Amino acid sequence: MLRKPDLYNEAVALRSKGLSYNEILKFVHVGQGTISRWCSKILLTKEQKERLLEKKRNTPLIRQLRRQAIQCKKEAKVWAKEQISKLSDRDTAQILFLSGILLYWAEGTKQSGCKGIEFTNTDPDMILMMMEFFREILKIPENKFRITVRMGHKGNIRRAENYWSNLTQVSREQFNNPELLNLKKNSKSLEKYPYGMCRIIIHNVSASRKMAVLIKELAKKFCPRSSMDRTRVS
């Protein structure tokens, strides 16, 4: 812990940089009255005074926005629970069917001439849902699944592969060699995603064709106008 003279010098230095008393208290742990007494004779520049005045003006607005955000989250949670509760258990298969198509449409590999299926994501819930879709809807045999882990070269590959193996229930023997990425020095990727990305790979031409047709037919049903527009452009 800093001694009194050190605390005083630290407080004065921070005030000279234009910090408010409350901001200084985050670094110098003394009473606010002490900070005020130590720094009362320090003259601030015009720019520093304008910054503190603007900060003071915005404080009530920031508090109001935070309260609104909290209330909005509460309302969203209540609304979401009500909507989900309306879904019947009898519709589970249909929900899985539509969810799988939409997720693959958004995140899956759809290159022309692709001879299989590839789906990559960092979200474990999304990976779980797609594995359920592949197994229950497309009826993919277990021996057809391959998994590739993509992550920074400094990551714990063994831990990541164990994690995705337990999650997907795909044997480690069916894992491909990992794809190691050279991340930038300031990258936070490994902190945000310690298990990297999981890529589900299915080498099956029939399944790939089914996915392509499912996406096309779903688009026709729910976005008929956009389908017509694409036909005209082509």
Q: In whole angstroms, what is the distance from residue 34 CA to residue 131 CA?
A: 61
| Residue 167 counted as domain residue | yes
* Domain contains 54: no
Residue pair 27/14 in contact by the 8 Å Cβ criterion:
yes
Provide the residue-wise pLDDT of the chain in tens; the chain has 234 residues.
455 788 999 999 999 999 999 899 999 989 889 999 999 999 999 999 888 888 877 777 777 888 888 999 899 888 888 887 877 766 788 889 999 999 999 999 877 656 789 999 999 999 999 999 999 999 999 999 999 999 998 899 999 999 999 999 999 999 999 999 988 888 888 889 999 999 999 999 999 999 999 999 998 888 766 554 554 444
Asked if the structure places residue 156 within a domain, the reply is: yes
How distant is the alpha carbon of residue 172 from its chain centre? 26
Domain count within the chain:
2
First to last CA, the chain: 72
Q: Are residues 103 and 36 in the same domain?
A: no
Residues 37 and 99 in one domain: no
Distance between CA atoms of 105 and 6, rounded to whole angstroms? 61
Do 105 and 38 lie in one domain? The reply is no
**Which uninterrupted H or E stretch holds 74?**
helix 46-85
What kind and span of H or E run contains 180? strand 179-181
32 shares a domain with 136: no
Same domain flag for 37 and 100: no
Which domain covers residue 28, as residue numbers? Answer: 4-43
**Which pTM value belongs to this model?**
0.66
* Residue at 164 is within a domain: yes
Task: Give Dmax (Cα) for the chain.
Answer: 79
